[in-house]
Amino acid sequence: MKRVGIVGSGVIGLSTALELKLRGFDVTVITRNYEEGASWTSGGMLAPYSEGLEGDMLDFCEESLRMFDDFANKVEKIAGFNIDYRRKGIMRIGRDEEEISRIFRYAEIYKERGVNLEIYKGNDIKREEPLLSEEIKGGVLFKDEGGVDTERLMDALLFSTEKLGIRLILDEIKHIDKDGKYIKGLEGLKKNYEFDVYIITTGAWNEIIPHLPVYPVKGQLLKIKGVHLERIYFSDSVYIIPKENHILIGATSEEAGFDTRPTLGGVDQLSTMACRTVPKLKESQFVNVLVGFRPATPDEKPVFEIGENYIISTGHYRNGILLTPVTSKIIADWVDKEKSSDYFETFSPERFVR
């Protein structure tokens, strides 16, 4: 039985561990802090169309979106509890003519791809969504988009790893002992580790993979409660995501390193734009501020580096939750069946050299 070592306990690392364990592999996850990653502080939106994705990123995200029902059902079944996964659609809204015209242009392109959507112009948006302010001039409802409560998802994945007997080791990997395209072992603070196959999913924390251009982008989100919303609202300036017991408002995008401090400017920006979008949110109760770090690359696309006995998977930036099902599957297929995905070439780090 192949021994697989996974470094990183974010949503990609844990989901890949789950997939490989279910296929019969001996899996160990090594993490320095299983609650540190961006997965815990993500809005959890599944929004390839609202994001306005194109080309290879759209193809990759669409494939993963199609897989999400089965992925969520599998995690819930193993964990034994609900992760608040819902696909009620996302209303992509616009405030000015530039934003509206861009949204409608993308909507026409997506419509030709067969995407299930509905366009609301002028006063139609207010009739469909009476809670929206007069500032909102139109929108597109992408009916197949949705979201998941990432805190519940991460809890479920951690619970599932324990339930299935996946080893979870708390240690900080300081160095990868690498010879060309072959990893000989991992050097941790506590001890050294050797496996047959290595999977590196360290997100924005790229100290052990400094040759890849991955860096943190700080995001602040607000958590509020006391107001009920049925649907996610997404605009250039803010997104508002209802969960079962609270609402998330996000998110700032700051190149500030690993600065964990919430800022008054971030709170002001998000709360102001949220209340200008849905005035009823002025009545809500402020709960707290969440701070996370998205793993970004220069072109905002993922990176897969493939070696003889390892895969590095990182740089999922704003779409880590959405891309989890497809990423965990193609990595597991490579380990299990020696099957190489076309996405490994598409998102190879060689593109930065080229």
Q: What are the start and end residues of each CATH 3.50.50.60 domain in the chain? A: 3-78+150-212+298-353
What tens digit of pLDDT does each residue of 166-184 get?
Answer: 999 999 999 999 999 999 9
Task: List own/partner pairs for 112-117 with CB under 8 A and 24 or more apart.
Answer: 115/49, 115/142, 115/144, 116/142, 116/143, 116/144, 117/49, 117/141, 117/142, 117/143
Average pLDDT over residues 91-115: 96
Using the predicted structure, report yes or no on whether residue 11 has a pLDDT greater than 80.
yes
Range 132-147 average pLDDT: 96
What is the CATH number assigned to the segment(s) 215-295? 3.30.9.10
- Judged against a pLDDT cut of 70, whether residue 294 lies above it is answered with yes
Task: Give the separation between CA 320 and CA 318, rounded to whole angstroms.
Answer: 6
**Which carries the bigger pLDDT value, residue 162 or residue 1?**
162
In the prediction, which pLDDT does 315 show?
A: 97
Grouping H, G, I as helix, E, B as strand and the rest as coil, residue 257 is coil
Per-residue pLDDT at 354 exceeds 80: no
- What is the overall mean pLDDT for the chain? 96
Kindly state the percentage of the chain with pLDDT values over 90: 95
| pLDDT for 40 | 86
The CATH number given to 3-78+150-212+298-353 is 3.50.50.60
Q: Give percent of the chain above pLDDT 70.
A: 100
Query: How far is 45 from 318, CA to CA, in rounded Å?
Result: 9
The segment(s) of the chain belonging to CATH 3.30.9.10 are: 215-295
- Return the C-alpha torsion angle 92, 95, 96, 102, nearest 10: -10
The answer to whether 249 and 220 have CB atoms below 8 angstroms apart is no
pLDDT in tens, 295-322: 999 999 999 999 999 999 999 999 999 9
Instruction: Write out the two tokens for 307.
Output: 């070696």
Residue 353 has pLDDT above 90, yes or no: no
Please tell me the pTM assigned to this model: 0.96
Annotate 295-319 with b (16+ C-beta within 10 A) or e (fewer).
bbbeeebbbbbbbeebbbbbbbbbb
Give the residue from 321, 340, 275 showing the smallest Cα distance to 83: 321
